[in-house]
Amino acid sequence: QIETRIQNATTIAGNDRLYLLLARAYRKMGQPRKAEAVLQELIDFYPDSEFAPEAFIELTKVLDELGQRRDAVRLASQAVPRYPNNPLVLRTNAELLALTGKVRAAAESLISADLAGADDPRVLLDAGRYFRDAGDLQSAQNAFERLNATYPSTSEAFEGAIDLAGVFRDQGRPRK
């Protein structure tokens, strides 16, 4: 029914959302190529749609599932300057960067997601761990301290406190 509505539409109102729903349906039905085509149409025909950021995110996932990680990373990186204040776009970019071993860039994208309003302690925990893995202990410390200050009663803050102690150890100084 969604396909028919899109094909017979005389107005664009609401079609952008239908494209996204159709693509998600194709993906869940195991038809990633169709999902890819629909998402690309949404991005091409409705670039200013409120659903365009979600389409970018969904398309990066489809491309990655199709074994096209390089294209997925490229697309996620292209979405960041278009939607620099969208926490989900920034998180998706970080996830793909981490999968390709670019942990410092992933950490920076997660910090941007936090600043854009991600409102999720996991973002800061992962950022701190990625900074640590990249050897940037000062940035790791900053991320863990922000995590503990912003989300003090979460399990992520507990994990972050343990990781912060490890950072202090690696810096050769006792915890303050």
SS3 (DSSP) at 102: coil
Q: What is the pLDDT of residue 3?
A: 60
Cα distance between residue 95 and residue 119, in whole Å: 17
Q: What is the mean pLDDT of each run of 10 residues along the chain (176 residues)?
A: 51 79 96 97 93 97 97 97 97 98 98 98 98 98 98 98 97 74
Q: What is the pLDDT of residue 2?
A: 54
Q: What is the pLDDT of residue 175?
A: 56
How many DSSP H helices and E strands does the chain contain? Answer: 10, 0
Helix axes 155-171, 137-150, angle to 10 degrees: 150
Q: What is the pLDDT of residue 96?
A: 97
Q: Note the pTM of the prediction, 2 decimals.
A: 0.88
